[in-house]
A and B are shown apart, each in its own frame.
Chain A
Amino acid sequence: MTELAKSSQAPLLSLRNINMTFGGIRALKDVSFEVMPGEVHCLAGENGSGKSTLIKIVTGVYRPEPGAAIEYDGQTYSHMSPVTAQAAGIQVIWQDLALFPEMSVAENIAFQTVLGRWPRVISYSRMHEIAVKALARLGVSLDVDRPLKDYQIAQRQIVAIARALIGDAKLIFMDEPTASLTQSETDHLMDIVRTLSASGVAVVFVSHRLAEVLEISDRLTVLRDGALVGVYPAAGMTQSRITELMTGRTFEYDVRSREVSANPVVLEVEKLSRPGLFEDISFTLRGGETLGITGLLGSGRTELALSLFGMLKPRSGTIRLEGKPVRFSSNRAAIAAGIAYLSEDRLSLGLIQPQSIADNLVIASLDRVTSGGFLSDDRKRALVAQWIADLGIRIGRQDDAISTLSGGNQQRVAIAKWLATNPKLLILDAPTVGVDVGARAGIFEIIAKLADSGLAIILISDEVPEVYFHADRVLHMAEGRIVNRFTPRDCTLADIEAAVYA
């Protein structure tokens, strides 16, 4: 779509004076938002900036406060309802896709067309036909009779898009569409979005990582703390500029990498192997040192970490902690010896989401809040209060469920939980996953402070810049082996990225 065509048209969707309050907190303040027909638009903002609230207003899940003006496709609405939004051709593809893995691709795409008020016989051949046609429109061919679970996440996403098109969509919102895609899959998705845009369907990307989608976007709307920051042309926009707009701050990291060879050795790993997962791993780690480990998913990083944490037994090789060889029978033995492991999966392994902040914080160090065989509520509260203050964690009450906290604050609690065990070695596996850009800086500040206090740290991340800027040395793992060793102060970010993404 050319610039000329766009400027001469009325907007497809126009929101003005949108206000929304939840429990006394203003989620949206006087926000306006506009999408042109056939436009590719980015909606950017950190978690909690109001992005999802805005989508939910457009799709009729929430009703904005009085005074709002919604215009869509030439009609004026005071609010949407899910039924009117769907009928008008507004579709959302959520990050979790909301598909049925056990059902066939055809059923996933076409089920809405065969649903009626009354039970009726379903024509599978018609569903098959509809699905093939919808996929063809996207220039994709899949075996539509196979169950969806046979397909990778990227293909499932395409199925979700095809399903949206069945409803005659004019406006599609995509929630974090590239979060779990590889580069080539992202490229393919962008091709599909171009096709959609050319056929007049407007696409709105909702994300906080936009580098990949910027090049095909027309405009960018940025929200911060529920307010509109501005609308910008996408051309010439960079990820760092977007981050600045989203957070209102600039993030310039210096390479932290230091020389720590004078410090005592904490961990020595020699020829550690577990065939099929990792092989021939050797490295040393000193007190106060941060060792970065990077590599693609499936490179054996997490498995290596789990074997240091006693949860996965190595087949051969030795681990020495402060000079003494150790063999852990379980993670309890590892914790007792002074090793802590922050899981990469905070939602299902790192924290117990329904339980309280306080209980999550003390679970790994219960002995410290026990006196005379009984748990002491006073001790627990004091310990929790101390860590909350030390790590600057923002919470309501200690008894609130941990799931009520933001990703960044949850991660701080998870770090506090392990620091409370008084570790010598802290393994941080992907500590910034699901943490906002602004909050990431806070996490790295904590990590730097811990290293300065003499703690040995292993920092695992698949985002190369994180290990480049924050680790003293970097190991690059691929297919279970260490394939490269870098020292960030002696190399460039591009050197490591070239090796990892080669």
Chain B
Amino acid sequence: MMRLVDRVRAFLGPEMAGPGFALLAVIVFFSLVSPQFLSRATFGSVAFQLPELGLLTLAMLLPILTGGLNLAITFTANIAGLTAAWVLKSNGGADAGPLAFLIGCLLAIGAGAASGLVMGLVIAYTRAHPILVSLSMMMFLRGLGEFLTRGGDISGFPVFIQPLGHGSILGLPVPLLIFIFCVLIWHVLLSRTQLGFNTYMIGSNIEATRYSGINTRRVIVLVYTLSGVMCAIAGIIMLARFNSVRVGHGESYLLITVLACFLGGINPFGGFGRVIPVFVALIVLQLLSSGLNLMGANQHLATAVWGILLVAVMILRFAATRFQFFKRKEG
């Protein structure tokens, strides 16, 4: 029995306390004030909104763990979506076949990977700051995308891709399933592979990691490339959900992904943090906005409440460490 508890605790990690508590608080609060909160409708809206923000958050997570940042995530997703759209368009638009879609997806992932690869190479070899490098990439992709689309929408895709954005399997939305699959992959990657191990070590001290015989450049390049791939998956999901691609879509998610990482206990300076608490943190954020929506609150107010929540979490974390410190001193 103890062993099981330990295993569960090891799986969740100490970072779980904050998001877990927030989840409980949000569920209790909204089910008290709104009887419709604990319903299929809430679940449905959360389940469909979660994946886009979630996938982009996963894309942000890896660079943050290395002590960096990827500010180009949303526009990488747009460019990847654009790549897939272009393949569909040039193969008959709404009449394009599944093969064209498959090729489109592969090229989209290739485009996302390329964006990450270039950033990773620049960061690893020039040691330029990741914020500056990814900001440059963001501006490049944005300009490129707006130039190619003339600022407009690209739409008119075959019907068969719609389930990817709206369909359900056994009552679970397809985008949610894809997201959960990606969460599990990221979890295994970080906790069970050498790449994940090295990602954490680099986040704490890249020079000491290099002195230990780790190819730190390779790890950095891989991390940003994988980040780009995750952006591409988000871009494909967005294409299917909106049945269109527009450069700039999802731009407002950028900073929320950073905050979701911190809410999930990721150390803002790198080296520490796990995937599962971030997953829970994302659910908290979505439940909060759905709950406020139910109460008839304005969407902008929901955003404001997110801000308050994050500040509250930081104050609580500070208080928790202070409390532990005093407990130890009195011990």
CB within 8 Å of B: which residues of A? 21-24, 311, 330-332, 335, 341, 343, 348-355, 359, 363-364, 366, 370, 373-375, 417, 421
Contacts and interface: CB of A to CB of B under 8 A. Distances in A.
B205 A352 contact: yes
Given A23-B331, A352-B208, A354-B271, A359 B201 contact: yes
A351 B192 CA distance: 21
Contact of B201 (A22, A335, A363): A363
Nearest to B206: A352
A351 B331 contact: no
B212 A363 contact: yes
B201 A355 contact: yes
A331 B211 contact: yes
B168 to A, nearest CB: 32
A350 B211 CA distance: 7
Contact of A355 (B194, B200, B207): B200
A335 B211 CA distance: 10
A351 B208 contact: yes
A331 B207 contact: no
Specify the main secondary structure of chain B where it touches its partner. Answer: helix
B211 to A, nearest CB: 5
A421 B212 CA distance: 10
B125 to A, nearest CB: 14
B48 interface: no
7 contacts: A21-B331, A23-B329, A349-B207, A354-B204, A354-B271, A355-B200, A355-B201
Contacts of B207: 348-349
A195 to B, nearest CB: 40
Nearest to A421: B213
- Greatest chain A CB density within 10 A among B205, B209, B213 is at B213
Nearest to A374: B192
Interface of B: 188, 191-194, 196-197, 200-201, 204-205, 207-215, 271-272, 328-329, 331
B329 A350 contact: no
A332 B213 contact: yes
A373 B197 CA distance: 13
B213 A364 contact: yes
Contacts of B212: 352, 363-364, 417
B315 to A, nearest CB: 23
A350 B201 CA distance: 13
Given A24-B331, A335-B213, A354-B272, A374 B205 contact: no
B327 to A, nearest CB: 9
B211 A343 contact: yes
A370 B198 CA distance: 13
Contacts of A374: 188, 192-193
Contacts of B215: 330, 332
A199 B212 CA distance: 52
Contacts of B204: 352-355
Given A349-B211, A354-B272, A364-B213, A375 B331 contact: no
Nearest to A399: B10
A352 B209 contact: yes
A21 B201 CA distance: 34
- Greatest chain B CB density within 10 A among A335, A341, A343, A363 is at A363
A417 B271 CA distance: 20
Given A23-B328, A331-B211, A353-B205, 14 more contacts: A23-B329, A343-B208, A349-B207, A349-B211, A352-B204, A352-B212, A354-B204, A354-B205, A355-B204, A359-B201, A363-B197, A364-B212, A374-B193, A375-B192
Contacts of B210: 331
A355 B271 contact: yes
A366 B193 CA distance: 10
- Greatest chain A CB density within 10 A among B193, B194, B215 is at B194
A175 B82 CA distance: 63
A335 B208 CA distance: 15
Contacts of B205: 348, 352-354
A442 to B, nearest CB: 23
A22 B328 contact: yes
Nearest to A333: B213
A23 B328 CA distance: 5
B329 A22 contact: yes
Contacts of B329: 22-23
B4 to A, nearest CB: 16
A5 B188 CA distance: 73
Closest 7 CB pairs of A and B: A23-B331, A335-B213, A374-B192, A363-B212, A352-B205, A23-B328, A352-B208
A21 B330 CA distance: 8
Contacts of A349: 207-208, 211
B79 to A, nearest CB: 31
- Greatest chain A CB density within 10 A among B194, B207, B211, B212 is at B212
Contact of A331 (B191, B201, B213): B213
Nearest to A367: B194
Contacts of A370: 194
Contacts of B201: 352, 355, 359, 363
A118 B188 CA distance: 56
A348 B212 CA distance: 12
Nearest to A401: B204
A374 B192 CA distance: 5
Contacts of A332: 213-215
A363 B193 contact: no
B200 A366 contact: no
A350 B331 contact: no
Nearest to A366: B194
A353 B271 CA distance: 11
A348 B208 CA distance: 6
Contacts of A350: 208, 211
B271 A363 contact: no
Contacts of B200: 355, 359
- Greatest chain B CB density within 10 A among A355, A359, A366 is at A355
A417 B272 CA distance: 21
Nearest to A330: B215
B12 to A, nearest CB: 15
B53 to A, nearest CB: 29
Contact of B214 (A21, A311, A355, A363): A363
B324 to A, nearest CB: 11
Contacts of A355: 200-201, 204, 271
A331 B214 CA distance: 9
A225 to B, nearest CB: 18
A22 B331 contact: yes
Nearest to A63: B329
A115 to B, nearest CB: 27
Given A24-B331, A353-B205, A375 B211 contact: no
A373 B188 CA distance: 11
A348 B193 CA distance: 25
